[in-house]
């Protein structure tokens, strides 16, 4: 009797309308590298100048949810979970995580955490098994001589985001954050300013080229008018493809002010190039951050990076990467994600003013 009831229950579930069930997908990447990291022109306080290490390259598991609501409307959600595969530790809800609605006529509206503005340059060196630390973000999305991240260089919190449908190649992203920190601090005792941020990102993509722009503006939370920090950043980017080649360019202009007084104004540019033939992928970029117009000292920097990646399958690849940052005497730009003690780094690896960094890496990546 119980077996008959179970069979009826299973048959009822299988016969339920498709619209009554949500579709759940699981995807992600596992990516870890063996790095040889070296510091040149060390400051006197640095007693060790090189190390070999294992480095997680932002491995993740992504749970996606979609439910058809009818009439071209769907409920959507994503949970992006990050964990350092080299060092262990608790899995962190630190990726692009959100819930929202998607329409075939007006696009999608989502609420949560999103990557905004940073990394818009068409630099593919970190794609597949190139080292994430070698990305042009290292110089393009930092200011103040290298010490200040633009647009967090990570997920922006508390975001309301709209992504348009594709209008014949043209797309638009518009986002607003009530506070880029983990939690708002508008009601902190003595606070006179409310933090916020906004981002606009129009782009046009054709079959073999793209051009786009990204505008970012943010103001810090829970501060007095004399200490509030504001950022303004504009990026123009694009690329062109032909016969396996991809050639791109991007220009970034960013300013920072504190209490209404400008404290940083710098420009950076990058030229990324890649070539793919069969299972062989070649990536390179030259990136330069110019001297800051406000910060004193010789604080420009330049970076060159190269990677070769071999595709073992559609999902698995192995690669070798070489990258070098050459800082001027007052610049302290470091490799992306290489902040000392960060989850994707190791202790005391941020470059001090005038130090140069060299990275050699062998990386394995599996996507699923």
Residues 305-331: pLDDT tens digits? 999 999 999 999 999 999 999 999 999
Cβ atoms of residues 24 and 65 within 8 Å: yes
pLDDT of residue 34: 98
Write the burial class of residue 127 (CB in 10 Å: 0-12 exposed, 13-18 middle, 19+ buried): middle
d(CA 83, CA 35): 19
For residue range 77-120, list pLDDT tens digits in order. Answer: 999 999 889 887 766 778 999 999 999 999 999 999 999 999 99
* Domain ranges, ordered by start, for the chain: 29-57+84-367
- Alpha helix (H) ranges present in the chain? 2-14, 137-140
pLDDT band at 300 (very low <50, low <70, confident <90, very high): very high
What percent helix, strand, coil does the chain show, rounded to 5?
A: 5, 55, 40
pLDDT at 185 over 90: no
Among candidate residues 34, 26, 95, 24, the one with its CA nearest the CA of residue 59: 95
pLDDT of residue 82: 92
pLDDT band at 20 (very low <50, low <70, confident <90, very high): low
Cβ atoms of residues 231 and 253 within 8 Å: no
Between 19 and 64, where is the model more confident? Answer: 64
pLDDT at 6 over 90: no
Cβ atoms of residues 302 and 138 within 8 Å: no
pLDDT at 344 over 90: no
Cβ atoms of residues 298 and 330 within 8 Å: yes
- In terms of C-beta distances under 8 Å and separation of at least 24 residues, what long-range contacts does 308-313 make, across chains too? 308/280, 308/281, 308/282, 308/283, 309/127, 309/128, 309/129, 309/130, 309/280, 309/281, 309/282, 309/283, 310/129, 310/279, 310/280, 310/281, 311/128, 311/279, 311/280, 311/281, 312/279
For 29-57+84-367, CATH gives 2.40.160.10
pLDDT at 275 over 90: yes
pLDDT of residue 3: 41
pLDDT of residue 341: 67
The DSSP code sequence of 183-232 is S--TTSTT-----EEEEEEEEEE-SSEEEEEEEEEEE-SS--TTT-EEEE
pLDDT of residue 90: 66
pLDDT of residue 14: 41
d(CA 341, CA 346): 5
pLDDT of residue 80: 97
Residues shown for the chain:
368
For residue range 248-261, list pLDDT tens digits in order. Answer: 999 999 999 999 99
Helix (H, G, I), strand (E, B) or coil at 8: helix
Between 218 and 15, where is the model more confident? Answer: 218
pLDDT of residue 83: 85
Q: Which of 92-106, 129-143, 271-285 has the lowest mean pLDDT?
A: 92-106
Q: Percent of the chain, pLDDT > 90?
A: 82
pLDDT of residue 4: 47
d(CA 331, CA 182): 29
Mean pLDDT of 162-180: 97
d(CA 307, CA 276): 12
pLDDT at 147 over 90: no
pLDDT at 75 over 80: yes
For residue range 21-48, list pLDDT tens digits in order. Answer: 789 999 999 999 999 999 999 999 999 9
Among candidate residues 84, 107, 106, the one with its CA nearest the CA of residue 94: 84
Instruction: Please tell me the pTM assigned to this model.
Output: 0.91
pLDDT at 8 over 70: no
Mean pLDDT of 195-214: 97
pLDDT band at 2 (very low <50, low <70, confident <90, very high): very low
């Amino acid at each position: 009797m119980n077996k008959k009831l179970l069979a009826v229950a299973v048959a009822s579930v299988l016969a339920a309308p498709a619209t009554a069930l949500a579709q759940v997908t699981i995807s992600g990447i596992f990516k870890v590298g063996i790095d040889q990291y070296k510091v040149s022109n060390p400051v006197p306080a640095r007693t060790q100048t090189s190390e070999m290490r294992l480095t997680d390259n932002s491995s993740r598991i992504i749970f996606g949810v979609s439910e058809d609501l009818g009439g071209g409307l769907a409920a959507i959600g994503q949970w992006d979970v990050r964990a350092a595969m080299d060092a262990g530790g608790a899995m962190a809800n630190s990726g692009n995580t959100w819930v929202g609605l998607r329409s075939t006529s007006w696009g999608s509206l989502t609420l949560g955490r999103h990557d905004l503005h940073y990394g818009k340059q068409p630099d593919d060196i970190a794609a597949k098994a190139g080292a994430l630390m070698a990305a042009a973000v290292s110089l393009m999305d930092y200011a103040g001589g290298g010490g200040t991240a633009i647009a967090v260089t990570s997920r922006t919190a508390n975001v309301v985001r709209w992504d348009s449908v594709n209008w014949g190649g043209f797309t638009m992203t518009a986002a607003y954050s009530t506070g880029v920190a983990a939690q708002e601090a508008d009601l902190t005792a003595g606070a006179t300013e409310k933090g916020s941020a906004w981002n606009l990102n129009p782009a046009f993509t054709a079959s073999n080229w793209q051009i786009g722009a990204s505008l970012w503006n943010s103001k810090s939370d829970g501060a007095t008018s004399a200490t509030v920090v504001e950022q303004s950043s504009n990026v123009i980017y694009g690329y062109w493809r032909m016969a396996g080649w991809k050639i791109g360019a991007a220009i970034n202009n960013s300013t920072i002010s504190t209490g209404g007084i400008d404290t940083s104004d710098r420009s950076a540019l990058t030229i990324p190039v890649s070539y793919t033939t069969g299972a062989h992928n070649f990536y390179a970029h030259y990136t330069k951050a110019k001297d800051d117009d406000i910060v004193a000292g010789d604080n420009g920097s330049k970076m060159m990076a190269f990677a070769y990646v071999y595709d073992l399958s559609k999902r698995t690849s192995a690669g070798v990467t070489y990258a070098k940052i050459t800082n001027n005497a007052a610049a302290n730009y470091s490799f992306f994600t290489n902040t000392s003690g960060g989850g994707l780094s190791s202790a005391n690896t941020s470059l001090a003013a005038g130090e140069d960094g060299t990275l050699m890496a062998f990386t394995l990546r599996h996507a699923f």
